[in-house]
Structure 1
Amino acid sequence: MEAGGGGEESLDMQGAAATAPGFFGQRQTSAKPVWASLEEAAQMKTEGNAFYREKNIRSAIGRYHRALLVLRGLDPDVMTSVKGFGPETPVLTPEQEAMLRNTQGDCYNNLAACLLQKQSVDYARVREYSLRVLQWRPGDVKALYRAGVATLEMGDAQTAKQYLTQACSEQPNDANVRKHLQRAEEKLNRELQKEKAMYRGMFSSSVKSGSTEGD
Structure 2
Amino acid sequence: MDSADVQGATAAEPSSSGHTTTYTRSVCSLLEEAAQMKTEGNSFYKEKNIRSAIGRYHRALLVLRGLDSNVMSSVKGFGPEMPALTPEQEALLRNTQVDCYNNLAVCLLQRTNVDYVRVREYSLRVLQWRPGDAKALYRAGVATLEMGDAQTAKQYLIKACREQPNDANVRKYLQRAEAKLNQELQKEKAMYRGMFSSSLKSSSREGIDQTNETGEGV
User: Would you call these one fold, judging by a TM-score over 0.5?
Assistant: yes
In structure 1, the partner of 2:46 is 53
In structure 1, the partner of 2:89 is 96
The answer as to 2:190 corresponding to 1:169 is no
1:95 deviation in Å? 1.3
- Unpaired runs of at least 5, structure 1: 1-27
In structure 1, the partner of 2:185 is 192
Q: Do 1:130 and 1:146's aligned partners in 2 also have CA atoms closer than 8 Å?
A: yes
> Which one has a bigger Cα radius of gyration?
2
1:214 deviation in Å? 1.3
Q: Distance in 2 between matches of 1:151 and 1:97?
A: 30
The answer as to 2:102 corresponding to 1:109 is yes
- Unpaired runs of at least 5, structure 2: 1-19, 209-218
State the structure with bigger RCO (CA 8 A, min sep 6), 1 or 2.
Answer: 1
Q: Do 1:157 and 1:187's aligned partners in 2 also have CA atoms closer than 8 Å?
A: yes
Q: Distance in 2 between matches of 1:122 and 1:87?
A: 38
In structure 2, the partner of 1:84 is 77
Instruction: Name the structure where helix makes up a greater proportion of residues.
Output: 2
Q: Distance in 2 between matches of 1:48 and 1:145?
A: 22
Q: Distance in 1 between matches of 2:118 and 2:64?
A: 20
Equivalent residue pairs, number: 188
1:33 deviation in Å? 1.6
So what's the TM-score if we normalise by structure 1?
0.85
SS in 2 for 1:121: coil
Residue by residue over 1:26-75, the C-alpha shift from the partner in whole angstroms, topping out at 9 and shown as x without a partner, is xx967222111111100100000000000000110010000000100000
Q: Do 1:76 and 1:89's aligned partners in 2 also have CA atoms closer than 8 Å?
A: no
1:134 deviation in Å? 0.3
1:13-52 mapped onto 2 (5 Å cutoff): 31-52=24-45
Q: Distance in 2 between matches of 1:70 and 1:130?
A: 20
Which of 202, 206, 218 is matched with 1:209 structurally? 202
Q: Distance in 2 between matches of 1:52 and 1:86?
A: 37
Moved over 4 A (4+): none
SS in 1 for 2:75: coil
C-alpha RMSD over aligned residues: 1.3
